[in-house]
């Protein structure tokens, strides 16, 4: 037994859900474009929102209109760039958190500097998609 007074057709539900997720992605992208390049969390929020939209589109693809399905290619590119940024940030955090467990004589400073430079390049590349 349904608790709602009226049932929503799958097509309408899917279109509303994808549209809501796309709106959230636009908001996150706008915030990230206004944030400083050192504010990684806003970039990470864009990545998560992009994943949500992409997976919703892929899941509901058979019932969506062509216009909603067309953004899939751009979402894949967005995920690739923001994922690469996430990989660098995660590597840097992991290396920094486990410095003490490195063998004697191994200095993590050079690797951390290189990862920082790479992070800056990845942020610039990701921000071009905003």
Side-chain half-sphere CA neighbours of 82 within 13 A? 25
pLDDT tens digits along 47-75: 999 999 999 999 999 998 888 888 888 99
DSSP H helices in the chain: 10-34, 40-60, 66-69, 72-97, 109-127
Return the HEC string of 42-56.
HHHHHHHHHHHHHHH
Q: Alpha-carbon distance 87 to 3, whole Å? A: 44
pLDDT tens digits along 91-101: 999 999 988 88
- The domain ranges of the chain are 10-127
């Amino acid at each position: 037994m349904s608790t709602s007074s009226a049932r929503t057709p799958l097509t309408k539900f899917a279109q509303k859900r994808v549209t809501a997720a796309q709106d959230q992605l636009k908001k996150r992208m706008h915030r990230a474009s206004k944030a400083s390049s050192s504010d990684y969390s806003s970039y990470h929020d864009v990545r998560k929102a992009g994943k949500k939209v992409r997976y919703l589109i892929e899941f509901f693809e058979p019932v969506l209109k062509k216009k909603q399905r067309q953004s899939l290619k751009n979402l894949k590119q967005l995920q690739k760039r923001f994922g690469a940024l996430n990989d660098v940030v995660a590597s840097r955090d992991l290396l920094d958190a486990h410095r003490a467990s490195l063998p004697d004589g191994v200095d993590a400073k050079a690797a951390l500097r290189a990862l920082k430079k790479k992070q800056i390049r990845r942020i610039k590349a990701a921000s071009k998609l905003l």
